[in-house]
Amino acid sequence: MTTYYEEYSKVLVSVDCIIFGFDEGELRILIGRRNMDPGRGEWSLYGGFVNSTESLDDAANRVLFQLTGLRNLYMRQVGAFGNVDRDPGERVISVAYCALINVNDYDVRLQEQHGVKWVSLKEMPRLYSDHNLMVAKAHKMMREKISCEPISFNLLPNLFTLTQLQKLYEAVCGESVDKRNFRKRVKEMDFIEKTELIDKTTSRRGASLYRFNRKAYDDSPNFKL
Amino acid sequence: MTTYYEEYSKVLVSVDCIIFGFDEGELRILIGRRNMDPGRGEWSLYGGFVNSTESLDDAANRVLFQLTGLRNLYMRQVGAFGNVDRDPGERVISVAYCALINVNDYDVRLQEQHGVKWVSLKEMPRLYSDHNLMVAKAHKMMREKISCEPISFNLLPNLFTLTQLQKLYEAVCGESVDKRNFRKRVKEMDFIEKTELIDKTTSRRGASLYRFNRKAYDDSPNFKL
DNA sequence: CCAAAAGTGTTCCGTCTACACCCATGG
DNA sequence: CCATGGGTGTAGACGGAACACTTTTGG
């Protein structure tokens, strides 16, 4: 291959993943202790370097698969972080990606194997390098999207109750909302379908289980909470 | 310096700038003919490679200054673009930045010197590599921000008429709005101040000139159009 | 029978939208 | 005097917010 641009310096590029989950009414992200120098032992997002043969998105998907064993996760780019000294080792530019998963889909043994765990956003420790900035930006993106895009369903089981959906919404926004108004808005969206199934695990009475119908959503994508 | 991460491959990183201006009722961006291989002669955004001593934001500011001679421009990161084959030369990851400038501040001779010109968004040609994607994403970001953040004022002179402000708003959104409703909303924002000055260049009667008071905005940042 | 969560409607208020005419001036 | 863009108010529709009680059932 002909080489162009010879005179310019190259840098390492990595991807770092902000993986959100929702459990026990709390929004959580996956973090682990860094197992390489520099910064060994510090809390950190899970990440990896971008290979020469893969796009940024490919790299993020690979890293996510490595960690979770899951494919086709909902994933969005958060942004590129490129301060010169952001990595104490050497110059590394990192592209942050945000992913949403249903915590039940993520095997606890895989978590232990990779040394990561779910930590509530409210109890987020100080993270390696600029990872707290990445988390903050990802969380901001989520807050902006939660009421106009159907992203919640990536964090919930296929079948979920309206109370779960509402608690998730409240956890992301950081404020509580009126139950009747919330349900009124849900009822407007035909692609959130009530099933005949009842979840009896959280109350004596039991709560109807709902399902997100993506096909119906794609037909008329009007999401508003 | 100790070297870590030795086994990973490094790549070139560039910044590309989507520079918006507003003139004759049209939203325009600065593009030029590419003056290096590969792709010499194709329409392209203005960009440059990131040096080892500068952050991504620094690089974007440097490139913007090189091109326009202007500092402290309004500038926001659009995102990182990293498909393997996005650059036909060799692997280059590019971080797109969007900047807003007042076209009057940009010397025509500098434009000629750098071989760039203002092109209306509506007449955007096919651009080099994935630059059209970058433009589309930057435009989307602008549409989202134009009605809830005071970004318009970066595209207008210090003193502007309400008609100018409205035309700009319409150009960004791509739809026209009612004049009286628009002005009602402007009147709600105390930081958009009417001056005693009159612009007589666009009508016989003359139009009042307004000014954006940033201090007042910072005190109570409630922008809504 | 009681605790605990699920489920359900109405009213009010504020906001957004639609809409048409007079003004000031230069040529 | 007329053409051109600047400037102004109101009424009706709509959507969002506030608000409290009944239902179900396992223990």
**Residues A184-210 pLDDT 10s:** 999 999 999 999 999 999 999 999 999
Residue B1 has pLDDT above 80, yes or no: no
Chain A interface includes B148 (CB < 8 A) = no
Residue B37 banded pLDDT, cuts 50, 70, 90: confident
Query: Which of A147, A188, A138, A189 minimizes the C-alpha distance to A166?
Result: A147
Residue A1 banded pLDDT, cuts 50, 70, 90: very low
Strand partners, B192: B212
Separation of A126 CA and C16 C1' (Å): 45
The rounded distance, in Å, linking the Cα atoms of A3 and B90 is 7
Contact at CB, A50 and B4, closer than 8 angstroms: no
151-180 on B, CB < 7 Å from strand D? 161-163, 178-180
Separation of A180 CA and D22 C1' (Å): 14
Residue B225 banded pLDDT, cuts 50, 70, 90: very high
DSSP summary character for residue A50: P
Residue A5 has pLDDT above 90, yes or no: no
pLDDT value of position B3? 63
Residue A209, CA: closest nucleotide via C1'? C6
Structure tokens at A216: 């119906």
Query: Which of A81, A161, A170 minimizes the C-alpha distance to A122?
Result: A170
Chain B residues touching A2 at Cβ < 8 A = 89
pLDDT value of position A111? 97
The rounded distance, in Å, linking the Cα atoms of B110 and B128 is 22
Average pLDDT over residues A125-152: 98
Taking the C-alpha atoms of A72, A78, A80 and A86 in order, what is their torsion angle to the nearest 10 degrees?
-110
Evaluate if the CB of B206 falls below 7 Å from strand D. Answer: yes
Evaluate if the CB of A208 falls below 7 Å from strand C. Answer: yes
Chain B residues touching A12 at Cβ < 8 A = 5, 8, 10
Identity of residue B152: S
134-193 on A, CB < 7 Å from strand C? 161-163, 178-181, 183-184
Long-range contacts of B146-149 (CB under 8 A, 24+ apart): B146/B172, B146/B173, B146/B225, B147/B173, B147/B224, B147/B225, B148/B223, B148/B224, B148/B225, B149/B223
Separation of A115 CA and C22 C1' (Å): 74
Q: Which of A4, A52, A91 sits opposite B9 (nearest CB)?
A: A52
Structure tokens at B104: 């009057």
Strands A26-33 and A12-23: antiparallel
A111, A119 contact by CB (below 8 A): no
Average pLDDT over residues A34-59: 96
Average pLDDT over residues A160-173: 98
Residue B2 has pLDDT above 80, yes or no: no
The rounded distance, in Å, linking the Cα atoms of B132 and B81 is 12
pLDDT value of position A215? 98
Instruction: Please give the mean pLDDT across all residues of chain B.
Output: 96
Average pLDDT over residues B102-111: 97
The rounded distance, in Å, linking the Cα atoms of B57 and B50 is 10
DSSP summary character for residue A115: T
Residue B198, CA: closest nucleotide via C1'? D6
CA A79 to chain centre: 14
Nearest CA in chain B to A52: B9
Residue A29 banded pLDDT, cuts 50, 70, 90: very high
Evaluate if the CB of A201 falls below 7 Å from strand D. Answer: no
> How far are the Cα atoms of A16, A21, A23, A42, A174 from residue A121, in angstroms, in the given order?
17, 10, 12, 17, 11
pLDDT value of position B5? 79
> How far are the Cα atoms of A113, B43, B139 from residue A138, in angstroms, in the given order?
26, 34, 21
Chain B residues touching A89 at Cβ < 8 A = 2-5
pLDDT value of position A7? 72
The rounded distance, in Å, linking the Cα atoms of A154 and A102 is 6
Output the 3-class SS for chain B: CCCCCCCCCCEEEEEEEEEEEEECCEEEEEEEECCCCCCCCCEECEEEECCCCCCHHHHHHHHHHHHHCCCCCEEEEEEEECCCCCCCCCCEEEEEEEEECCHHHCCHHHHHHHCEEEEEHHHCCCCCCCHHHHHHHHHHHHHHHHCCCCCHHHCCCCEECHHHHHHHHHHHHCCCCCHHHHHHHHHHCCCEEEEEEEECCCCCCCEEEEEECHHHHHHCCCCCC
Contact at CB, B80 and A77, closer than 8 angstroms: yes
Contact at CB, B93 and A50, closer than 8 angstroms: yes
The rounded distance, in Å, linking the Cα atoms of B189 and A142 is 28
Residue B24 has pLDDT above 60, yes or no: yes
pLDDT value of position A3? 64
The rounded distance, in Å, linking the Cα atoms of A211 and A195 is 7
Q: Determine the residue among B6, B52, B129 to mutate to test chain A binding: the one whose Cβ has the most chain A Cβ atoms within 10 Å.
A: B52
Dmax over Cα atoms in chain A, in whole Å?
Answer: 71
Closest CA-bearing residue to C1' of D6: B207
Identity of residue B123: E
Chain B residues touching A9 at Cβ < 8 A = 49, 51-52
Window 41-100 of B: residues touching A by CB (8 A cutoff) are 49-57, 59, 77, 79-84, 89-93, 95
